[in-house]
């Protein structure tokens, strides 16, 4: 573990050093303002660099042999984490809060918060380097007298209280000034140059500007006034909704109008219940976790319900006599690429798990258990082939000019999801019948992990099948807007292909022939 920690410290130190030079060059190229956000940004960099230097020290194995699991490591970790995360977080809060609050936080209070936090952090964690070198171990909350640790620990305690006082002052300042209601924002009090500081209110910007530099609010002085007057693209959102333009990645040419979801609490509740599901599992309250998970799925589906709704008009005049589509599908849409990226990540996870399986098998193939009989293999693969064919046929069905094509596409997606779920259940039951158990051997653990990963995708595909059926029943699925069918088809086709790969893998590397 010491060698691993040393290697990890060195691996982190090299890119972090490059990052620090980038930060220094950024400050050197501009005119630094030591307001509260600037103080937190610079202070965080100073603390992070100090933690990085001790990281280089523990990257040397002879030194780490002495300092490992001592308070020296506690000091190192807190310098890196607080400098690299906490201080930048406070810098971001003080800088961005005027965008969501009618009143900014107090600048004078903010400087008190910074200096108390900066001094408190160094008083709390600087002495820990010394106590660590003097032999004080980590994860021990008390110690015997006469070790010489009393004074540095007392100083650390004072620093911790100073840090806590800084956070308390910040909380009080938030209570005094944070006003997310009424007038929406305090405005560009920092004279920021980016488009995010355009006056927006609750409705986003009134028109989408054409920018000519990296600092448009500095270089185009009348930009904010012209945007508010609607003198650019998509003025006032022509269809009376929350809209924006999707442009080409290289030349920023308008491609289509994207409708932004209306403000709602569904996605917030979805995030809360999703977090609750995983957190509740850690205390093994399984019934409560299931309830939280079901509520999370419902909230997410309820939020998605407003997406991709049919409209009578196919194009929108975005200004300057330019008309663009209100909807595109396939590789031209942002949703298609988002799904592709999700599937690439999922496939990489599966490949890594598959590599682990093959590695474990290569170490002791003589201990590997024979797979189930060939009949279950043929049935599982057959179901997955059906799932893949149905998923591939759905987009072609919805684009055909025949009556009932949308209903047929929805039915094909439901059939695909049902077949994928049935195949993973059948394969899992077949392995269970052989007596293989996940808690007994590495083969069992890896086989059920791979099947569980494939089954998770199949279960999500089942939810997608339910979603597409509901949208069809309520008239929110249309042939002229096939994105919903396209994306679910793409997901289910990948699910089927991934499950076939998993089944072939666990069948090809057994203890006996299939």
Question: Where in the chain are the domains?
Answer: 2-177, 266-304, 330-508
Beta strands in 95-239 (DSSP E): none
Gap between the Cα atoms of 386 and 404, Å rounded:
21
Task: Quick: pLDDT tens for 355-373.
Answer: 999 999 998 888 898 999 8
26 pLDDT band, cuts 50/70/90, is: confident
The Cα-based distances of 196 to 38, 224, 240 in angstroms read 19, 11, 22
Question: Among all chains, which residue has been given the structure tokens 């506690």?
Answer: 74
Q: Which residue, among 471, 452, 450, has the nearest Cα to 460 in the 3D structure?
A: 452
For residues 114-126, give the mean pLDDT. 96
Q: Are 328 and 255 in contact (CB under 8 A)?
A: yes
Question: Among all chains, which residue has been given the structure tokens 């979801």?
Answer: 261
pLDDT at position 47 over 80: yes
For residues 101-122, give the mean pLDDT. 94
Gap between the Cα atoms of 410 and 74, Å rounded:
56
Task: Quick: pLDDT tens for 234-245.
Answer: 886 666 667 788
Q: Which residue, among 277, 299, 275, has the nearest Cα to 287 in the 3D structure?
A: 277
Looking at residue 21, its pLDDT comes to 82
Task: Quick: pLDDT tens for 289-315.
Answer: 999 999 999 999 998 888 777 666 788
Q: Are 389 and 500 in contact (CB under 8 A)?
A: no
Looking at residue 513, its pLDDT comes to 44
Size of the chain in residues: 514
Burial class from Cβ neighbours inside 10 Å (0-12, 13-18, 19+) for residue 153 reads middle
Gap between the Cα atoms of 395 and 333, Å rounded:
15
Range from 121-135, 363-377, 395-409, 436-450 carrying the lowest mean pLDDT: 395-409
426 pLDDT band, cuts 50/70/90, is: very high
Looking at residue 400, its pLDDT comes to 79
Looking at residue 249, its pLDDT comes to 82
Q: Are 40 and 88 in contact (CB under 8 A)?
A: yes
Q: Which residues are 208's β-sheet partners?
A: 233
Question: Among all chains, which residue has been given the structure tokens 């199949």?
Answer: 458
**DSSP-derived secondary structure for 293-309:** HHHHHHHHHHHHTTSS-
Express the helix, strand and coil content of the chain in percent, nearest 5 each: 65, 5, 30
Looking at residue 501, its pLDDT comes to 96
408 pLDDT band, cuts 50/70/90, is: very high
Percentage of the chain lying above the pLDDT 90 cut: 52
Gap between the Cα atoms of 426 and 376, Å rounded:
7
Torsion of CA 286, 290, 296, 299, to 10 degrees: -150
- Fold (topology level) of 330-508: 1.20.120
312: CB partners within 8 A, 6+ apart: none
For residues 320-341, give the mean pLDDT. 88
pLDDT at position 423 over 50: yes
Q: Which residue, among 372, 369, 352, 373, has the nearest Cα to 361 in the 3D structure?
A: 369
Please say whether the structural domain 2-177 has been given the CATH code 3.40.50.1980: no
Q: Which residues are 243's β-sheet partners?
A: 259
pLDDT at position 4 over 50: no
Range from 175-184, 345-354, 482-491 carrying the lowest mean pLDDT: 175-184
* Higher pLDDT, residue 392 or 320: 392
Q: Evaluate whether 2-177 and 330-508 have a shared fold.
A: no
Looking at residue 239, its pLDDT comes to 61
Q: Are 9 and 53 in contact (CB under 8 A)?
A: no
Q: Which residues are 315's β-sheet partners?
A: 325
The Cα-based distances of 181 to 82, 172, 201, 205, 422 in angstroms read 31, 18, 11, 19, 50
**DSSP-derived secondary structure for 20-44:** HHHHHHHHHHS----SHHHHHHHHH
Task: Quick: pLDDT tens for 58-86.
Answer: 888 888 888 888 999 999 999 999 998 99
Looking at residue 495, its pLDDT comes to 97
């Amino acid at each position: 573990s010491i060698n691993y920690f040393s290697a990890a410290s060195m691996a982190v130190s090299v890119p972090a050093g490059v990052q620090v030079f980038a930060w220094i060059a950024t400050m050197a190229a501009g005119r630094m303002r030591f307001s509260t956000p600037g103080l937190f940004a610079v202070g965080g960099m100073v603390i992070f660099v100090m933690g990085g230097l001790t990281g280089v020290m523990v990257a040397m194995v002879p030194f780490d042999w002495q300092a490992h699991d001592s308070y020296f490591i506690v000091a190192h970790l807190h310098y890196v984490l607080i400098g690299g995360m906490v201080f930048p977080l406070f810098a971001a809060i003080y800088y961005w809060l005027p965008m969501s609050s009618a009143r900014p936080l107090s600048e004078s209070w903010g400087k008190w918060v910074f200096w108390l936090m900066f001094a408190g952090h160094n008083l709390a964690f600087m002495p820990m380097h010394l106590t660590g070198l003097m032999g004080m171990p980590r994860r021990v909350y008390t110690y015997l007298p006469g070790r010489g640790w009393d004074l540095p620990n007392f100083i650390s305690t004072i620093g911790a209280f100073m840090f806590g006082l800084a956070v308390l002052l910040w909380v009080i300042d938030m209570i005094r000034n944070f006003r997310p209601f009424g007038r929406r924002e305090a405005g560009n009090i920092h004279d920021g140059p980016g488009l995010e500081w355009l006056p927006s209110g609750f409705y986003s910007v009134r028109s989408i500007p054409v920018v000519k530099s990296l600092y448009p609010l500095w270089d185009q002085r009348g930009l904010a006034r012209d945007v508010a007057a609607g003198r650019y693209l998509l003025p006032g959102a022509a269809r009376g909704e929350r809209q924006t333009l999707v442009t080409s990645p290289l030349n920023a040419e308008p491609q289509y109008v994207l409708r932004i979801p209306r403000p709602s609490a569904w996605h917030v509740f979805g995030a809360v219940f999703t977090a609750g599901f995983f957190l509740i599992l850690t205390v093994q309250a399984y019934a409560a976790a299931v309830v939280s998970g079901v509520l999370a799925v419902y909230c997410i589906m309820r939020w998605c319900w407003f997406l991709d709704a049919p409209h009578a008009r196919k194009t929108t005049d975005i200004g300057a006599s330019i008309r663009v589509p209100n909807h595109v599908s396939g590789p031209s849409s942002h949703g298609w690429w988002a799904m592709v990226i999700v599937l690439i990540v999922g496939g990489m996870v599966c490949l890594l798990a598959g590599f682990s399986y093959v590695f474990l098998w290569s170490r002791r193939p003589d201990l590997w258990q024979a797979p189930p009989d060939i009949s279950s293999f043929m049935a599982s693969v057959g179901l997955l082939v059906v799932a893949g064919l149905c998923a591939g046929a759905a987009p072609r069905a919805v684009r055909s000019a025949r009556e009932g094509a949308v209903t047929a596409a929805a039915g094909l997606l439901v059939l695909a999801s049902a077949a994928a779920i049935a195949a993973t259940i059948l394969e899992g039951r077949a392995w269970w019948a052989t007596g293989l158990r996940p808690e007994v051997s590495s083969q069992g653990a890896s086989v059920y992990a791979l099947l569980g990963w494939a089954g998770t995708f199949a279960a999500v595909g089942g939810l997608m099948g339910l979603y597409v059926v509901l949208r069809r029943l309520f008239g929110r699925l249309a042939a002229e807007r096939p994105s919903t069918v396209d994306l679910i088809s793409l997901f289910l086709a990948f699910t089927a292909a991934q499950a076939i790969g998993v089944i072939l893998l666990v069948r090809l590397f057994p203890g006996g022939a299939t």
